[in-house]
Chains A and B, each alone.
Chain A
Amino acid sequence: MAHPDADLVAACRQGDRRAFDALLERHRGWVLNLAYQMLGAADEAQDAAQEVLVRVFTRLGGFRGEATFATWLRRITVNECINRLGRRGREGELPPELASARSSPDEGVAVRAAIQSLSPPLRAALVLRELHGASYREIAHILRVPVGTVRSRLAAAREKLRELLSEEA
């Protein structure tokens, strides 16, 4: 039977290497893909995910259990990605390989380009909801905004996404 995250976190704090491996194994994949969906570039996503996991495992003492471990991890991941997007300079700047990809015949690439066209706050809300199944309340907690703001951001993000994908179609 799989241990809940809280048990693994407690064991990890005691220095249990197996708990560390189990947590890493359980969360590595989605952290990496959340970073990829936010950043749009696979190499940068690998760096960001590594940074997030290192930060999380070195600061497990700072996890107070107010939210679930996964929510805490999502919040750190989204913050790391938003910081990285800020470092790129202009908001919403596309990675070079996506700059002309909206009309790509590969639907995956077109979807990726459409997501990257959204501003980071809209992108975060949409990705968390549509690709990670986060509830409005959880998104509000992750992005530190009221639930009403999540609702309006999601509406705006979907509107823009619909326009982009219908243009491309």
Chain B
Amino acid sequence: MTDSHCEHMRELLSALLDEEPTFVCAGERRGEGGMAGALDPLSVSPLKGGEVNLSGDERRAADGHLAECAACRRWFEGTKAACQRLKLHPVIEAHPGFDAAVMARVTAGPLTRVADALDNWICTPARQIAAATAGALVLSGLLLWGAAWVVIATSPPRADAAARHLSLEGRGGVRVHPDDLPPILRGDAISGPDLLGRPLAVTPPRPLDLWPEFLRRRVQPQRPEEQ
């Protein structure tokens, strides 16, 4: 019998241990009449619960292996004895205030229970890290939002806002002040032939103090007396 075969069979033998106390064989309790290998699997029937953890084939294989393999018989008996020793595990009683403490916590308000649950949840280091990270993210988000709000509320109007303002001209959005209209110059596309025949009554533009000198000269029209 190979070790690997025995290893494989031990899972079945372990399951056989769980079926053992719940079966009878030929009118007597199983286990009193010797080794399991001596039993015909078809002659056993469930006594209580009807729990069967091995299929018919598995059961036959386990019984057959147990009958043939002395090492696995020793394993089976040793494991059964070890499991029986588990019953020696000490038993404890609830402390005197146990029921009262449970009752007090059950009847406590939902906030107390939430606090308890949170306290209980946050005990693991991984959860503490997760909670701290989430808190830091929320805090930094709030700080960023606050800072952005302050910057927007206190900054001067931006140049693109002026451009957007101008783009609305003529669409009913903004009324254009007459001083802002550009002067019509000779050679302008809108100047008609009748206009070209006589001197233009041009209103000199407002001085553009903020413009550079070379731009101002280019924009300002020549006066008739200079011609």
Binding site for B on A (CB under 8 A): 20-21, 24, 28-29, 32-33, 36-37, 42, 45-46, 49-51, 53-54, 57-58, 83, 86-87, 107-109, 111-112, 115, 126, 129-131, 135-137, 147, 151-152, 154-155, 158-159, 161-162, 165-166
Question: Would B90 and A108 count as touching, CB distance under 8 A?
Answer: yes
Identity of the chain A residue whose Cβ is nearest the Cβ of B77 in the assembled complex = A162
Residues of chain A within 8 A (CB-CB) of B98 are: 28, 32, 46, 49-50
Of A42, A58, A131, which one neighbours B87 at CB under 8 angstroms? A131
Residues of chain B within 8 A (CB-CB) of A45 are: 92
Question: Would B86 and A115 count as touching, CB distance under 8 A?
Answer: yes
Question: Would A158 and B17 count as touching, CB distance under 8 A?
Answer: yes
A contacts with B: majority SS:
helix
Question: Would B83 and A130 count as touching, CB distance under 8 A?
Answer: yes
Minimum Cβ distance to chain B for residue A77 (Å) = 14
Residues of chain B within 8 A (CB-CB) of A53 are: 102, 106
Question: Would A135 and B82 count as touching, CB distance under 8 A?
Answer: no
Of B18, B88, B95, which one neighbours A108 at CB under 8 angstroms? B88
Residues of chain A within 8 A (CB-CB) of B91 are: 33, 36
Question: Would B78 and A166 count as touching, CB distance under 8 A?
Answer: yes
Task: Identify 7 residue pairs between A and B in the complex whose beta-carbon atoms are under 8 Å apart, listed by A's number.
Answer: A21-B99, A32-B93, A32-B98, A58-B106, A109-B90, A131-B89, A161-B86
Question: Would A42 and B15 count as touching, CB distance under 8 A?
Answer: no
